[in-house]
Amino acid sequence: MDDCLFCKIVAGEIPGDIVHTTERTVAFRDINPQAPTHVLVVPKAHFANAADLAAGDPQASAELVTAAAAVATAEGHDDYRLVYNTGEGVGQTVFHTHLHLLAGRPMTWPPG
Ligand code: AMP
Ligand code: ZN
């Protein structure tokens, strides 16, 4: 999709600190990390949010979670948090779905 930041990172048109790839996903470090490990796992195909991805490509939706778990393990974390923001009202700023993997520090609940 034209003008989508994460499509451009997937395509290699914009640099990303890529840590893991699978057939359908790419994982790269968040540019503004909120934890010692903060990685975004995205489908290579463009979907606006997690629900659209789950409806349109369930296999890729599952692969995001298994990819995130693989990155967590590779970085030595048994405990981690996975987050999807959906909609501007809860802080979604990039409308190419991305699973946040956060780990490496204590976390509170509920989230802010
Ligand atoms: P969200 O607020 O859920 O839409 O998350 C978007 C995330 O993308 C934020 O955590 C940003 O820090 C991150 N981000 C924005 N631009 C880049 C980039 N060029 N490379 C890596 N992460 C980015
Ligand atoms: Zn995109």
Ligand 1 contact via 30 beta carbon (within 6 Å): yes
pLDDT in tens, 90-107: 999 999 999 999 999 999
Q: Is residue 10 part of a domain?
A: yes
- Amino acid letter, 67: A
- Average pLDDT of the segment spanning 75-83: 98
Helical segments of the chain, H only:
5-11, 50-56, 58-74
Asked if pLDDT for residue 29 goes beyond 80, the answer is yes
Q: Is residue 109 part of a domain?
A: no
Measure the CA–CA gap between 75 and 29, rounded to whole angstroms.
12
What pLDDT sits at residue 102? 98
Q: Is residue 36 part of a domain?
A: yes
How many domains are contained in the chain? 1
Asked if pLDDT for residue 1 goes beyond 80, the answer is no
Q: Is residue 45 part of a domain?
A: yes
Ligand 1 contact via 85 beta carbon (within 6 Å): yes
pLDDT in tens, 36-76: 999 999 999 999 999 999 999 999 999 999 999 999 999 99
CATH number at residue 30: 3.30.428.10
Q: Range of 15's domain?
A: 5-103
Which ligand 1 atom sits nearest the alpha carbon of residue 14?
19
Q: Which two tokens stand for residue 33?
A: 């990390």
Which amino acids are annotated catalytic? 98
Is 107 in contact with 56 (CB distance < 8 Å)? no
Q: Is residue 88 part of a domain?
A: yes
